[in-house]
Amino acid sequence: MSITANPLPPLRSFPFSRSPNGRNPRVTMVIRSTTGVSVSTALPILTKLQKDCATPLPLLRNIADAMAKDMRDGLEVDGGSDLKMILSYVDSLPIGNERGLFYALDLGGTNFRVLRTQLGGKDERVIDTEFEQVSIPQDLMSGTSEELFDFIALALAKFVKKEGGKFVLPKNRSRETGFTFSFPVKQTSIDSGILIKWTKGFAVSGTPGRDIVACLNEAMGRQGLDMRVSALVNDTVATLAGARYWDNNVMVAVILGTGTNACYVEAVDAIPKLQGHNSISGRTIVNTEWGAFSNGLPLTEYDREMDAESINPGEQLFEKTISGMYLGEIVRRVLLRMEETGSLFGNYIPERLHTPFALGTPNISSMQQDTSPDLENVGSILYESIGVDSNLDARKMVVEVCDTIAKRGGRLAGAGIVGILQKMEEDSKGIVFGKRMVVAMDGGLYEHYPQYRRYLKEAVTELLGPELSSHVVIEHSKDGSGIGAALLAATNSIYEH
C-alpha cells in the first residue's frame, strides 16, 4: 500500500514540512522506562480536545454574525475591524463577450505562472489557453527589485515568442496582461498598487513603497516586450472573475489552501470609506482578508501555543484554525501531548514528533481516507512523517484527532461564508437568499480533503436551513485565478472588444 492515499496536492495548496517562523526545530528524544502503548490514558486529552473544538449551531451563528459585523466595520473606515476590507477597484466583471488575446502573470510564491488565452466572445468563449510555470532562483528572492522583475519579464518575453497557432494578436494592439500578485499591497487603482512588504521568504530590496505594476512595466520595457498591465489583482479576486465568466450568479470567492481568503461583490454605495470613486456598474469586488478574523473562535491550548511561537502572534487567528498551513501542525501538537502524557505510541518520543510542521495537512487528510480494517495507511504515514510505530488502537485515536481538527476548521469556514452572505443580504433588502447564489471555491485544502469539504457544506446548511441553503451553490473553481486574471485584463482593456 502506498504511503499516500490521495494524489499529491498542487503547488501552493499545502505546506511543506517546515517551521514557518524560520526557527530551528527542537530535536529531542525521550527514552521511557515503560513499555507498551496506553490509549486509555490519552482518552481524556481527546475528550477535552473535542469539547474545546466543538462548533454547535449557536456558536456558528455567533461567528457568522461577528463576521458580518466586522465586514461592515471594515468598510466604514480603514482599521475599523480586524478585516482590512481592501478595495480591488475591479468594477467591471467578465460577461462573456470579451474577444482577443490576453495574458496573465501569477506571482505568489517561489514559482510564478505565465498564461495566455484567446477569447472568442459569447459564441466561442475560451478558444485556447496555454501556460508555463517558472521557478524563481533563491538568490533573486533576496536580490534587488530590478533583478527579480527583469527575470520575470524575460521569462514572459520568452513565453510570448512561442505565441502562435490559435493565438492571434489583433493588428495595431499592444499585448495586455492581468497581474495576480499575492503579497500585501495597497491598491490605488485597477492597474496600480503600492507594495507594503514582502512575505513568503522574499526580501527584495528597492520594492516596498513602490508601485508594483510600475516595477513590472519598467522591466518589460527593458526586455523590449510590448505589453502593459491592465489589471492588478490578488488570487481570490481573480478566482471570482474566472468563475463569474461562466456563471453570472457567482458573487463570492473563497481560497482554502495553504492560506485562506475571501472576496465578494459589493455595492459601491455600501462602502462609506470609498470616497470619490465612480463605478459605472455601481459595484466592485472587496477583498476581505478574512484570515485576520478573530471574534469568538473556539481556540484550544494547542492553538494558543502554536500562535505564540509563530512569526505573527495574535494575528491571522481565523487562518490558523481553518487553513492548510496549520491543521496538520495542530494535530502534531495534540499527538505529542498524548505521547508525553499517555505513551500513545510506545516507549520513546521520536525526534520528528517534536519537529514543528513535521506532520502536514496532506498527511492528516490521507489518514482520514484510510478505510482498511487495520488502518495500514495511517500507520505508514505516522511512521514516515513523525517516526512513530503504532498499533490499531493508537491509529484509531489519531484519526479521531484528525477528524476533530478538520471538523472545527470546515465548520468555521462555513460560518464565515454565511457571514458574508448575511452581510450581502442585509444590504440588498432580502433579495440575496431569494435567488441562486454561487460561492466559487479554490485551493488544495478544499479540493483534496473531502471530510473538511463536507463539514463546511453541512455548516452552511445548518445555518441557513434547508430552504435558503438550497439557493446557495458552493462550487469548486479549479485554477480559476489564472484565467480570471486574463479575463480581468480583457474587461479593463484600453481597447474595445
User: Is 235 in the active site?
Assistant: yes
**Cα 316 from chain centre:** 13
Q: Which residue has the cell 494578436?
A: 169
Q: Consecutive 10-residue runs of the chain (497 residues): their mean pLDDT?
A: 35 36 40 52 94 98 98 95 92 86 90 93 88 93 95 96 90 92 88 89 90 96 94 93 91 94 93 80 91 97 96 93 96 95 83 95 97 96 95 96 98 98 86 84 95 98 94 88 90 79
Q: Is the pTM of this model over 0.85?
A: yes
Q: Which residue has the cell 480559476?
A: 480
Residue 479 burial by CB count (10 A; 0-12/13-18/19+): exposed, middle or buried?
Answer: middle
pLDDT of residue 19: 39
User: Is 128 in the active site?
Assistant: no
CB 398 within 8 A of CB 370: no
- Count of CB atoms situated within 10 Å of the CB of 70: 23
Q: Say which of 73, 200, 389, 393 is annotated catalytic.
A: 200
Angle at 105 between CA 104 and CA 107, to 5 degrees: 150
pLDDT of residue 430: 66
Residue 278 burial by CB count (10 A; 0-12/13-18/19+): exposed, middle or buried?
Answer: exposed
CB 477 within 8 A of CB 242: yes
In CATH, which superfamily holds the domain spanning 91-233?
Answer: ATPase, nucleotide binding domain (3.30.420.40)
pLDDT of residue 301: 98
CB 277 within 8 A of CB 437: no
Q: Where are the domains of the chain?
A: 1-88+247-478, 91-233
How many angstroms separate the most distant Cα atoms in the chain? 80
pLDDT of residue 6: 36
Q: Say which of 70, 235, 303, 370 is annotated catalytic.
A: 235
pLDDT of residue 230: 94
Angle at 430 between CA 428 and CA 433, to 5 degrees: 105
Q: Which CATH number fits domain 1-88+247-478: 3.30.70.1280, 3.40.50.720, 3.40.367.20, 3.40.50.2300?
A: 3.40.367.20
Domains 1-88+247-478 and 91-233 share a fold: no
pLDDT of residue 199: 80
